[in-house]
Amino acid sequence: MVSAQMKEKTICFDLEGPLSPQDNAYEVMKLMGEEGAAIFEVISRYDDIISLEGREGYEPGDTLALIVPFFLLHDITEADIRKVSARAKIINGAEYLFEKLQAENWDIYIISTSYEQHAYNIGHQLGVPEDHIMCTNLSLKKKALPKKYLYTVKKAEDDILALYSDVDSDDTNRIVNRLDEFFFRQLPALGFDVFSTQVIGGKRKADAIRAIAHEKGIALRDIIAVGDSITDYKMLNEVTAHDGVAVVFNGNEYAVPYANVGLASIDIRFLYMVCEAFARGGKVAALDMVTDWETNRQIFDKNPANIPDSVITANIKEFVTKQKGTKPFPYFHNLERADKRKKDDVIKIHKQFRMQVREDAGKLG
């Protein structure tokens, strides 16, 4: 039974990572061939660098605005984005999780950097209406582009490919200098505003979750937020700072430090245990459940059938008992009590699951 403390049950998910392993924009860029993937990886690295330096007006995830000139150069359309999205898988356990939450009247939102052509597709499969999906509006209406624009973008493309070897280097000055020149000087001089595509990432995700709380008349402490990457850290931090539950699912080094619950798993159904505890007793109950699992994980792994009912639901106990020895056992971490050394260890665990679940996309920020 839900306590009076938790009358509202609201959860907000990032999409790429927690709900679908596909990085849609990365896969769309691959329509240009191997060169498209390399260009995306360089721009993604650039995004990480200037996001972390706190460049004014720039937010994590604005990569999805920066790649639009290359869509136009290569005649990539909105239909192409939908076709790529149609190949996207759903994270294991997501359908189970959403069915359970919907049956218990949770209000589910998706807050995603993804283009709407992808976000609406995944949201539809999980039963989330479009008015509960905050994502990036993208218009690629066909228009005649001047030769000077096409030449400038093609030259930038060639230069970016030449910089691919710098992606994993400690010295990224050449990447930053060349892309600064292209995005912040050359394109504006041609009258092209790359940031007319407003990506829902970084601060805009935090703004979105605040807007949801305001519209519903609830506090951020009454919300669970779920993310995994650099585009989510401000949203996770906002919820953590206001005493809500911020869950990092198979996160990277940019997201883990800003959450208070860690879940590393190839299956997201285990998140339901956090939600059930949260609905029952708020953040305290959720963190108690997480801490119990973290403390006794080895015992639980050895004999899942004996996991106490106070920690796990009957359906999930049956599921984890049947898959014993065939699937990696999930990790929960109480990050609220973790020091830097502990968080570094958690990041290593999450990265292992991240690469297993997201494959190529796992290496992106």
Mean pLDDT on 154-158: 97
Give just the sign of the alpha carbon dihedral 42, 14, 94, 84: negative
Q: What is the pLDDT of residues 2-49, one digit of tens each?
A: 333 445 699 999 999 999 999 999 999 999 988 999 999 999 999 999
Strand order in the sheet with 245-249: 133-136, 107-115, 10-13, 223-227, 245-249, 261-264, 331-334
pLDDT of residue 2: 37
Reported confidence tier of residue 325, pLDDT bands at 50, 70, 90: confident
Q: What is the pLDDT of residues 84-123, one digit of tens each?
A: 999 999 999 999 999 999 999 999 999 999 999 999 999 9
Per DSSP, 133 falls in state: E
pTM (predicted TM-score): 0.93
Q: How far apart are CA 300 and CA 81, in angstroms?
A: 43
Nearest to 19 by CA among 127, 122, 96, 111: 122
Reported confidence tier of residue 364, pLDDT bands at 50, 70, 90: low
| pLDDT(212) > 50 | yes
Q: How far apart are CA 206 and CA 225, in angstroms?
A: 10
- For helices 147-162 and 173-181, give the axis angle rounded to 10 degrees: 180
Q: Are 316 and 270 in contact (CB under 8 A)?
A: yes
The mean pLDDT value of the chain amounts to 93
How does strand 133-136 pair with strand 245-249? Answer: unpaired
Q: What is the pLDDT of residues 313-322, one digit of tens each?
A: 999 999 999 9
Q: What percent of the chain lies above the pLDDT cut of 90?
A: 90
Structural domains for the chain = 4-21+88-136+201-363 (3.40.50.1000), 24-86+139-196 (1.10.3870.10)
Q: What percent of the chain lies above the pLDDT cut of 70?
A: 95
Distances (CA, A) of 238 to 6, 235, 260: 19, 5, 11
pLDDT of residue 3: 39
Q: How far apart are CA 222 and CA 242, in angstroms?
A: 9
pLDDT of residue 141: 79
